[in-house]
Each structure stands twice: as structure tokens, then as C-alpha cells.
Amino acid sequence: MTDRLHPETLALHAGWRADPSTGAVAPPIYQTTSYQFRDTDHAADLFALKELGNIYTRIGNPTTDILEQRVAAIEGGAAALALASGQAASAYAVQNLARVGDNIVSGTDLYGGTWNLFANTLKDQGIEVRFVDPADPEAFLRATDDRTRAWYVETLPNPKLVVAPIREVAALGRPLGIPLIVDNTAAPLIARPLDHGAAIVVYSTTKYIGGHGTSIGGIIVDGGTFDWEALPERQPLLNTPDPSYHGVVWSEAAKALGPIAYILRARTVLLRDLGAALSPFNAFQILQGLETLPLRMPRHCENAAKVVTFLQGRPDVVRVIHPSVQTGIQAERTTRYLSGGHGGLVGFELEGGGAAGRAFINALKLFYHVANIGDARSLAIHPASTTHSQLSAEEQFATGVSEGYVRLSVGLEHIDDILADLTQALDAVAP
């Protein structure tokens, strides 16, 4: 039934109707570590993947399962795996395909934490990440060799806000057996990467999906359309016997369960062994947030657009960064991929550079000064000294962070109050 429903409806209904024993309508928080098996055959079948079911909350939980089904349904994917953070989602999404000696190709326009993970931690684990300009799809091809297992971009890169050419990149990778992984954290509902050929979508659910700044979480969505077996030598982790699971070949094992080889391995190997499980309580909080996402996203977009117009009218603002100010091919990509709106993030630079930007943030009264985006409340930060401070000057430049860059995550307050706070803070630092 859910196939025919709209995202607004799926956000309220997918994956859950009512508790069979009590009739409870709100998803229960199954705060349990483990589950009573019916008998020893049942336990053995679950462990042998002959039957899917609850074994232990590190690898699956009924509350978390509702979140996974709901996000997969909204995204148009086959299945999902919720995790303890967006960072875990990005890491597992890559580690599920690449091992020591392998590489992936990633766009440079990334959240600072993802940059660090790719440039340093994955490198230490023997996985090389080759960075390319995501605006040039052919650059992904040029950086690819026989050991390339995946390509990676952010739809609406935080904080560069230049939309990635998802369809163009995905179409180049598919004939080579290379899936495109898309971090859609800044653009849930407004961009639909799977519709454009992406194979996998990752989110930090900490942001817009949770939406209220209460819970850290992440999720990986398996689109279910990528043919992992077409070029088996390209994806050895899914096509060769896995000694950690009595020699199972994941593309074979998934056949009875659906087009879920990728997400099945992520759960049964990475989540089992590395253990970044989302707590059932956080799954509940994120589900609660997700129910109103279709209402919140348009308001974030609308308020952000008004902030852009306001900033463009200020003589002390020398540059505004927002998908709507792009020109040429970037503007075309904005229209194609952000079909549901331009998102809630706005960047700008003041005439006085970094010092003026920092003074502006200190003068804000309504906006919170926090390292987060996608909260219902309006937020501001200076990325060069915070979220991207662990990057070198060159790396900051590559990810779109200049010394004077101020990032706003425009919230759901009344627009007059948002603009009043921006006005008083700008006036306070006016040269």
C-alpha cells in the first residue's frame, strides 16, 4: 500500500500501524537488549539468516526498524540501516564496499567531519579517498582505477551549497559497477537522489529529519536498484565468500530477501562488529521528528529565501552563498536536483571578513551559536574556526570555507523575528 502514498503520508504511516497486543498507535520504545526465541530452531534460523527477526539490539530493534522502514519508504529505497550518528552512516557506507588497498572517489565539497574521516581515518585503515571537484562529473572517471569501489558526493554540500550533479555522476559509474553514495543530510524531501540514479543515500538524522536538536543519529538507505553482481570483481565484498559469516556470499544470501545485499552486509557485518547501534529512545525521537518533516522543510526553505533577499540588500554583506544565487550550469543543477526547495542553509561574508563575522555571531540574540544544522531553531556558526577548523587552509578552501564565511541554519521562527535579530547583530558590527 505504501508504494502509492505521498511523503507526507508515509512520514506518518510507513512501517507501523498499531501495537498488536495493546493497540497503541504511537511507535513503542522497545527498550530491550534481547528477544526471547520461540525455540532453538527459531534461534538457529535467525542466526543463519533463513528468517529475518530480532536477535539483539546491537544489530536490530523494533523501534529502530520502524524508522528504517519509514525513511526507506519516503526515499523510495528497498531497505535502510539506522545508526548511532551520521558519521557512522558515512563510514559504514564506504567500509561496506571498500577494504584495505581499495579506494573511493569523493567530491571535495563535504562536511568537515566527513572530510576528516575520508582524508585521515579511512586512510589509516588502508582505504584511500581520492578527492575531485564534484562539479565536473568526468573527474570521477579520471580518478578511478580497478580498486575503486564507490563514488561519494553531498547533494547540497554543507557549507559550500553548490548542488552536486547526481544524475551525471551516477550514470558514469553504473556501467563500471561503481555505485554513487549521496549524503542528502541538508536536503531531505527536497532532493531525491535515488530518483536520479544514486545507489545509496546517507543521512545524519541529527539534522532536519530529527529536526529538534535532541538526538544524534544516522541512516543508510539502500536504493535496491544497483546491480552488485554485474561486474563481480568490482565489488568483492558482496561477491566473494565472507569468512566472518561461515563463507556466505552476500549477493547470493540476499536473493531470498529482496534487493538488499548491500544493507544486509552493512547490518550483519559492520553493525555486528563495529557496533554503532542507534538507541531505541533516539530512534523514537527521530521518528517523532520525521512525522512533521514534510511540514517543516518548506518553512525552512521559505524563511531561508527571505533571509537571502534581506542579506542581498545589506551594504555590509559582500557575498551571499545559497543555491538560488548560482548561475549557469550550477543554476540548472539547482533547479533539477532541488526540485522541492532550496533548503534552510545560508552562508554570507561581511565586508570586515572573519573578525566581523565572529563579532556578528557574538551579537546574535535569537539565533543559537551551535555546531549543528537543521534544528527547528535558527542557528549560526563560523565554520573556519569550528566545524572545519581541523582542516588545512587548502582543505578549507576546497570545501568552500573562507575565513569570513558565516553559516546560518534558518529555523522555523516568524520571519520578522529572524530578520530583526540579523539586523540588530549586523548593525552592532557595522564598520
* Residue 106 in contact with ligand PLP, rule: CB under 6 A: no
* Residue 210 in contact with ligand PLP, rule: CB under 6 A: no
Q: Which three cell numbers stand for residue 411?
A: 529555523
Q: Given the DSSP bridges, would you call strands 103-107 and 128-132 parallel, antiparallel or unpaired?
A: parallel
In 3-state terms, the chain is what percent helix, strand and coil (to 5)? 45, 15, 40
Residue in 135, 210, 151 with CA at minimum distance from that of residue 183: 151
- With CB under 6 A as the rule, give the number of residues binding ligand PLP: 17
Chain position whose Cβ is nearest to ligand PLP: 86
Nearest distance in Å: CB 109, ligand PLP: 10
Nearest distance in Å: CB 426, ligand PLP: 25
**Interacting residue with ligand PLP among 63, 103, 114, 378 (CB under 6 A):** 114
Contacts with ligand PLP, 361-400, as mask; x by CB under 6 A: ------------x---------------------------
CA–CA distance, 206 with 219 (Å, rounded to integer)? 10
* Residue 216 in contact with ligand PLP, rule: CB under 6 A: yes
Upstream peptide bond of 159 is cis (omega within 30 degrees of 0): yes
Q: What is the DSSP string of 58-124?
A: TT--HHHHHHHHHHHHHHT-SEEEEES-HHHHHHHHHHTT--TT-EEEEES---HHHHHIIIIIHHH
**Interacting residue with ligand PLP among 109, 183, 375, 421 (CB under 6 A):** 183
Let me know the angle formed at the C-alpha of 65 by 338 and 289, rounded to the nearest 5 degrees: 50
* Residue 65 in contact with ligand PLP, rule: CB under 6 A: no
With a CB cutoff of 8 Å and minimum separation 6, the contacts of 401 are 112, 159, 383, 384, 388, 391
Q: Which is nearer to ligand PLP, 62 or 218 (CB)?
A: 218
Span interacting with ligand PLP, options 19-27, 106-114, 219-227, 361-369, rule CB under 6 A:
106-114
**Interacting residue with ligand PLP among 96, 106, 185, 399 (CB under 6 A):** 185
Q: Given the DSSP bridges, would you call strands 180-183 and 148-154 parallel, antiparallel or unpaired?
A: parallel
Span interacting with ligand PLP, options 55-63, 82-90, 98-106, 264-272, rule CB under 6 A:
82-90
* Residue 204 in contact with ligand PLP, rule: CB under 6 A: yes
Q: Which is nearer to ligand PLP, 75 or 317 (CB)?
A: 75
Nearest distance in Å: CB 132, ligand PLP: 18
CA–CA distance, 392 with 150 (Å, rounded to integer)? 25
* Residue 337 in contact with ligand PLP, rule: CB under 6 A: no
What sign for the dihedral angle of Cα 281, 282, 284, 289? Answer: positive
* Residue 63 in contact with ligand PLP, rule: CB under 6 A: no
Chain residues binding ligand PLP by CB under 6 A are 85-87, 90, 111, 113-114, 154, 158, 183, 185-186, 204, 206, 216, 218, 373
